[in-house]
Amino acid sequence: MIQTFKFNKAEISFENDKIIISDDAKQQLRRTQFTSAIWVFYGTLSILRYMNTGDQFLLWSGLIIGLGHLVVFVMILFRSTQSEIPFDEVKSIKVKKRFNNSSLDIRLKTNRLRRILKIDETDELKKYIETRFHSSTTV
């Protein structure tokens, strides 16, 4: 039995033994990596400029920007962009709502996270997950 859910920019199909996801996760990941790398570089340059000028603003803004985006860059390393996920690799599936945005988080047994952003009409998806995956929870 195949169950398919279509959203704004994603489509999720639950087949007998795997989950098939079609979205632009690889492009989003590359964009985030690129922008975070640029901001880390900018923060490093600000700190180096502080050493020449002695301006405290350059030091603190460079530290905040550089370290903040370095944390984002490291968090990206724990993300997955798999388009086909076998059920035996899935640790948990959760529908999360932050502010007014809903997302589907699939935690893999390798502790990587596959996130599908901007899902709407989550009631049907929540019911399906609760009936199909008894050990997984929805929040």
- Write out pLDDT tens, residues 66-80: 999 999 999 998 898
Residue 138: what pLDDT? 44
pLDDT per position as a tens digit, 26-62: 999 999 999 999 999 999 999 999 999 999 999 999 9
What single DSSP character describes residue 20? Answer: E
The two three-digit tokens of residue 19, written as one number: 């989950």
Helix (H) / strand (E) containing 113: strand 113-119
Q: List, in order, residues 6 or more apart from 17 with CB less than 8 Å away.
A: 86, 87, 88
CA dist 127 and 129 (Å) reads 6
Do residues 104 and 12 touch, judged by C-beta distance below 8 A?
Answer: yes
14 C-beta neighbours (distance < 10 Å), count: 20
Q: Looking at the whole model, is its pTM more than 0.85?
A: no
